[in-house]
Amino acid sequence: MIPLMVAFPLLFGFIIVILDTLRAKKILIKASFILGAVLPAGIFLVGNGREIVGGWSRVAGIEVGIGEINAPFIAGELMLFTVVAFYSLSYFDFRDKKTAKALVLFLLMHAGLLGAFLARDFFNFYIYMEIASVSAFALVAFSEEPGSKKAAFKYLILSLLASYLFIFAIGVIYMETGYLNVELVAENALPSRELSTALGVAFASLLLKAGIFPLHGWLPDAHSKAPTPVSALLSGLVVKAPAYGMILLFSALPVGESLKTAAMMVAVASIFFGIVMALLQKDAKRLLAYHTVSQMGYVLLGIATFNFIGAAYYALAHSLFKGGLFLSVGSLGTRSRKLGEFGYRNAPLMAFSVLMLSLAIGGVSPFIGSYAKGLISSGLEGGLKWTVLAGTIGTLVSFTKLNYHLSRGETEDLRPSWKLSSLVLALTTLGAGLYLGAGLKPTDVIYIAAAVLTFFGLRALGVFEREVESEAKDVGRDVNVLAAVFVTFMLAVLLLQWP
């Protein structure tokens, strides 16, 4: 039954292609799209455990499963994708002939992400992650935003480079252990130079695909230039697939202390680099994109400390609040995305949603962000716990800036489905936090006050007048530089593991 979670989106994507070719009525295409989006959730609610597709042996067969580590990834995917699917039906103009093709790409991404999160072997994880990635490239290019084609091209080239090296690493793992199944690899993997090399190459490749510093170069352009529902999926879901791949790698292969330490250092650097860059942005969607770089640092911090449950719940939390923020800000800023030129002053429901989502991403209780940060902190020792606290205040400063500007501007009339989508995700972050047991923490009042005071202090110093221009002028040169950074980073990871 579990494989049906992937089969339904593929089936209804195929049906939409046929309906579009036959020029069927829009209502049939919309109904097929919604069925492909929501039916996997029904399987998730009744299915659990593990299955071997086709009943083959575990050695040769394709194993899929739902367990305590991948269930939060899958739950986040299903909740966010369902909301984005309803949002997309009113976002895309069905008078545009490309709309049906966009909906098919959405369902392909849905199938790819679910397949990657369900996978219990490296090869099928790779195949499904690539299906999601290819859909993502095409959907970014669908945007009419200036620079979107360049952003899609840069995303495509760098992601393919990472893919080729990742499949090479999988080949080395198979050569050394004789298996692709994660548990069989874990049972047979012995420390060796070959496996260390494969682990380093695969880890660096997945870091690039997850958009984590210093391999984040493609992410701000791709996430900010994409159509609003695509931005929500890219930031909320697509970067989570490589994070899940890192969990598979770290749970199956011998990971040395040097690599664990390096991963923790990269995670901390990503958290604070993303915050600093977000504070210097004047484009609202670009601000949110840099916060993806920062937030993925928390997920990596959980993985690096082998706190896989913490990383999985942080990924779930980030899917909800970041997806909601992209939908909210994208809906408000249809004419301009520049801070100060639009806002929610005349849209109280959107103001309520954005404020709730901002508190959720800041880790304020009782939202799900607080619960997830608590899990991440529980696996940390010494100064790393203070890192999470400092990151929380930094994130709150950045979202104080966002809400300060949004509270001073107005928006055009918003479609009811757009307001409802933002509200549903905002309430979900609160409901999920309460359900998981995120109790009220009085100290959060101190953090919020510190963040507001810091924001006005930085504003008085003129820090927000500065802007770091990072959009590529020459995309070919940009790709070469980012590829060089990737190769250098990968070599550094390999040297760290040298005995």
Confidence of residue 119 (pLDDT cuts 50, 70, 90): very high
Confidence of residue 385 (pLDDT cuts 50, 70, 90): confident
Distance from C-alpha of 212 to C-alpha of 476, rounded to nearest angstrom: 21
Confidence of residue 471 (pLDDT cuts 50, 70, 90): low
Rounded to an integer, the average pLDDT of 1-7 is 92
Evaluate if residue 194 carries a pLDDT over 90.
yes
Q: 229-262: b or e for each residue (b if 16 or more CB lie within 10 Å)? A: bbbbbbbbbbbbbbbbbbbbbbbbbebeeebeeb
Evaluate if residue 389 carries a pLDDT over 80.
yes
Structurally, the chain folds into a number of domains equal to: 1
Residue 20 lies in a domain: no
Residue 452 lies in a domain: yes
Are 435 and 344 in contact by the 8 Å Cβ rule? The answer is no
Average pLDDT over the chain reads: 93
Rounded to an integer, the average pLDDT of 17-41 is 94
Residue 283 lies in a domain: yes
Are 258 and 196 in contact by the 8 Å Cβ rule? The answer is no
Which of 33-42, 139-148, 261-270 shows the lowest per-residue confidence on average (mean pLDDT)? 139-148
Residue 425 lies in a domain: yes
Residue 325 lies in a domain: yes
pLDDT in the model for residue 296: 96
CB atoms within 10 A of CB 37: 25
pLDDT in tens, 488-497: 999 999 998 8
Its domain, for residue 311, covers: 264-468
Distance from C-alpha of 483 to C-alpha of 489, rounded to nearest angstrom: 10
DSSP 364: -
Residue 31 lies in a domain: no
Residue 248 lies in a domain: no
Site of tokens 């050569």: 175
Residue 45 lies in a domain: no
pLDDT in the model for residue 454: 96
The shares of helix, strand and coil residues in the chain, as percent rounded to the nearest 5, are 75, 5, 25
pLDDT in tens, 249-263: 999 999 999 999 999
Evaluate if residue 157 carries a pLDDT over 80.
yes
- Beta-carbon contacts of 193 under 8 Å, excluding residues fewer than 6 positions away, are 499
| Predicted TM-score (pTM) of this structure | 0.95
